[in-house]
Amino acid sequence: MVKRLRNWRRITIMGASLGAAMIFFVAGIIFWGGFNTVMEATNSFRFCSTACHEMSWVHEEYLDRPHYQNSTGVGATCSDCHVPNAWGPKMIRKIEASREVWHWMLGTIDSKEKFEAKRIQLAENVWRSMLRTDSRECRNCHDWSAMDLEQQAPRAAREHGRAFEQGQTCIECHQGIAHQLPEEWDESPVWAYRFEHDEPVTDGMRSEPELPLEAEDLGEAVSVEGDIAATLDWSDVPALDITLFLPGQASIEWIQDGSAHGGGRAFSFGDRCIWCHQGEEEQIGALATSAEKIETYDLGDKRGHVPMTVQASFDDDYLFMRFQWEAGEHAPLPFVEGGMLDPENPMKLTVSFSDERVDMADRGGCWASCHHDSAYMPDAPEGEALAASELAERLDLMSGNGVTKYLSESRTEIEVRGRRGAPRGGWDKLKDEAEIAELLGGGVYLDLARFNSGSGTVESGYVLDERHFSDSEAIVFSAEEADGVWTAYLTRALRTGQEGDKPLATDHRYSFNVALHDDHADSRFHHVSWQLGLAFDATIPGDFDEDRVEINATRVSR
């Protein structure tokens, strides 16, 4: 027995006796256990929210975000997003964190005011790091290979599928998930490029046409032979079912602002509204009528959405359209005396046409003309400001309509995000008359045609510097209600020959929108469609991208 013990003592491991090796082994376990204990303790939510991060306002922001609480019950703590899982990168991150501890000790950011002053810098530091690492911390929980796009909402499936194909990384679209976005951050398609090149980004970036523009050939003035559309056989013309909805105060500025409208980046990248939001019309309308979102007025029992069927046909001279929808019961607006904004007209139906010459029309259609400072919108100017403006001589500001629809191209500047309380929009930044005339002659305008059911009259016009309406003999509109269903017909010359009427070519694609002022509505209290692509007897695929044409007019003979 004694001899056996002596033999064990002679055993060495890397020059150390077995006993010493066991002591080192146990000490290593204790050291490693202690090290890991400390490491995990500094990764805990309690440590992050109490030990060093005394900035309680940051913690409060996180508590309102989906990474803390959501329908699945799966939450993410600070370390899940800010500390890598792999041991090597984790050690590097911990070493980097010592600099943050040092600044905490110095009191570099020990107040909310100091934090807000550095919010954009701190946020971009994290985003820049995630760009370099392919959003490594996001992939602690999320991974492309685990995504079942068929189970995702259409909007998410489309964006994730495209991001995977193009090699995008999570942080390129998902900012503001855990903390509020900086007010000074200028979201634009070039923000990632700016990180590497430190180039400034301007507000309200848009592809403004360069002057001089190529003049648009309107053709000879014509008149319509009569209400031809009402006499056609529509039984063999394909019908498109769409859903109109209340847009509330969701202006074109609101759409571009990612901190308000989560799809701001997708819109800037070129996505059409319909790609993300088709099928959500009823939900959006309900949010508006209840004033839960995008609306501040109590709309009472006004219906939030209206299903509509649209048909389109054409011949060598005319475009014909038929619209059908159910009439709604009268729902008085509680903020209007008598409950009717327009007592004379039970219904008004408006259609609009535009093409690629109008910036943003290919994505949002007539939404390109809806601004945050128009009448009944949040930043609409007061009457005194309108009366005192030198633009009162050029714009119809005092007729009771206030600031009407206008295109961004007609202004020298558009405020998109309302920084430091600045009103959104640019109604008072009007370009000079020569530039406006050049834009109009070059086809940069939104074509409108509106039917007024009370008087049976048709107004034709356009939107550029403001909304212009006049009479037209080249457009015939009619509508009647029978058995609780409205049916409206449109006969429009392809080339009216009138200024402001978009000349329609049958080998071209156009942006088309419908707006319905039902139940005596007026101003912006209307139901609208998404931007719809309109083509003429197009072969798809081939002549046009099928993903951009919803209405394919059928050729008819008379």
In order of start, what are the domains of the chain with their CATH numbers? 44-172 (no CATH), 228-555 (2.60.40.1190)
| 428 vs 95, more confident | 428
Total count of residues recorded for the chain: 558
- Which residues are registered as beta bridge partners of 366? none
- Which of 37-51, 102-116, 260-274, 299-313 holds the top average pLDDT? 299-313
Q: What CA–CA distances, in Å, run from 185 to 42, 120, 169, 182, 400?
A: 30, 6, 19, 5, 37
Q: Report the C-alpha gap between 8 and 20 in whole angstroms.
A: 12
CA 409 to chain centre: 19
Q: How confident is the model at residue 198 (pLDDT cuts 50, 70, 90)?
A: very low
Q: What's the mean pLDDT in 265-279?
A: 85
| Antiparallel, parallel or unpaired: β 318-326 and 485-493 | antiparallel
Query: What mean pLDDT value characterizes the chain?
Result: 82
| 25 vs 529, more confident | 529
pLDDT number for residue 67:
82
pLDDT number for residue 87:
72
Q: Report the C-alpha gap between 112 and 117 in whole angstroms.
A: 9
pLDDT number for residue 21:
53
Answer whether residue 17 shows pLDDT above 80: no
Answer whether residue 498 shows pLDDT above 50: yes
Give the residue among 383, 372, 401, 519 at the shortest CA–CA distance from 468: 401
Contacts of residue 542, Cβ cutoff 8 Å, sequence gap at least 6: none
Q: Report the C-alpha gap between 427 and 394 in whole angstroms.
A: 12
Q: Report the C-alpha gap between 555 and 537 in whole angstroms.
A: 6
Q: Report the C-alpha gap between 32 and 246 in whole angstroms.
A: 62
pLDDT number for residue 215:
76
Q: What's the mean pLDDT in 108-133?
A: 81
Candidate from 322-331, 349-358, 467-476 with smallest mean pLDDT: 467-476
Candidate from 74-78, 251-255, 366-370, 373-377 with smallest mean pLDDT: 74-78
Q: What CA–CA distances, in Å, run from 212 to 358, 434, 442, 503?
A: 15, 11, 8, 20
- Which residues are registered as beta bridge partners of 512? 353, 532
pLDDT one-digit tens code per residue, 337-396 = 888 999 999 999 999 999 999 999 999 999 999 999 998 899 999 988 988 898 988 888
pLDDT > 70 fraction of the chain, expressed in percent and rounded: 83
pLDDT number for residue 410:
96
Q: What's the mean pLDDT in 465-478?
A: 90
pLDDT number for residue 202:
39
Answer whether residue 297 shows pLDDT above 60: yes
Q: What's the mean pLDDT in 8-26?
A: 56
Q: What CA–CA distances, in Å, run from 368 to 20, 97, 254, 428?
A: 79, 46, 11, 17
DSSP string, 401-427: --S----GGGBS--BSS-GGGPPSB-T
CA 116 to chain centre: 26
| 545 vs 361, more confident | 361
Q: What's the mean pLDDT in 132-139?
A: 85
Answer whether residue 291 shows pLDDT above 60: yes
Neighbours of 32 (CB within 10 A): 10
Answer whether residue 450 shows pLDDT above 80: yes
Answer whether residue 179 shows pLDDT above 60: yes
pLDDT number for residue 476:
94
| 243 vs 156, more confident | 243
Give the residue among 521, 553, 534, 75 at the shortest CA–CA distance from 306: 521
Give the residue among 426, 424, 395 at the shortest CA–CA distance from 411: 426
Candidate from 20-24, 156-160, 205-209, 358-362 with smallest mean pLDDT: 205-209
Q: Report the C-alpha gap between 429 and 432 in whole angstroms.
A: 10
Answer whether residue 275 shows pLDDT above 60: yes
Q: Report the C-alpha gap between 545 and 413 in whole angstroms.
A: 33
Hey, what are 283's tokens? 């939900």
pTM of the model: 0.75
Q: What's the mean pLDDT in 201-212?
A: 43
Q: What's the mean pLDDT in 293-314?
A: 94
